[in-house]
Structure formats: C-alpha cells, structure tokens
Amino acid sequence: MTKKVTLPREVAEAIESLRNRGESDQDIVTYGIERYSFSDAGIIYSYGKTNFHELMSALVNGFEAEKSPEEKVREYYEHVKQEYFEAVDGRERREYLGKYSAVKTTLDLLGIQIEGVNA
C-alpha cells in the first residue's frame, strides 16, 4: 500500500488550485521543472527544484497538507484533555491537568488565540 505524501500547506493548496482550474497532473509536473510567472506555478516550481520525486509521488499516490502550528497545538491540547478525563488516579489526573493548563497559559502569555483551545 502506498502512503500519501505530506506536503507543505502552500504546495498542497497550489496543486488543488491548479487542479480546480483544470490543469492536469502533467501540467503540474511541468510547473515543477520549468519556471512560470503565475503564483501557483511558482510555488510548484520552487518546491519541485529540491523535492521533485516527492512532488511526483504526491501526484501519483495522493497527498495531504502539512498541519499548521495551530492545528498541531489543538490536536495536542485535545489529546491531553481526553487523557485527563480518562485518567483513573489522582496523580495521573494532576499530570494531565498541568499539561492542559500549560498549553493555555503559554498561548495566553504569547498573545496567541487558537479556536478550541483558548479562544
């Protein structure tokens, strides 16, 4: 079974944008090796210069966009929250409560708002 490739978000979005405009995978491969002036093709070219085989694999096997930092924090936060509610003893619950609180406190101190975490 082949594994989907994880691409930087802007590359994944550029591929989807090109496909939505009717561009074929062959066109996208061309953008990966030849410089074009419009933005999505430029993104593909920049990525393809150093990651051409990965680009090809993504087009053949499928891809997913890399998670944003906010998505990663939200996933971690939800995981810790779930572990807190599933913990059976007091010590374990306090450990997860500390992690749970630390995420919110850190984001608040940095002035970062993430929907579902501290916003």
pLDDT single digits (tens) 11-66:
999 999 999 999 999 999 998 888 877 889 999 999 999 999 999 999 999 999 99
Tokens of 13: 């979005």
The mean pLDDT value for 78-104 works out to 87
- Confidence band of 1 (pLDDT split at 50, 70, 90): low
21 Ramachandran zone, left/alpha/beta (phi>0; psi -120 to 50): alpha
Q: What per-residue confidence (pLDDT) applies to 91?
A: 86
Contact between residue 76 and residue 67 where contact means Cβ atoms under 8 Å apart: no
Taking the model in full, what pTM does it have? 0.67
Which DSSP letter does residue 66 get? P
Q: Which amino acid is at 110?
A: L
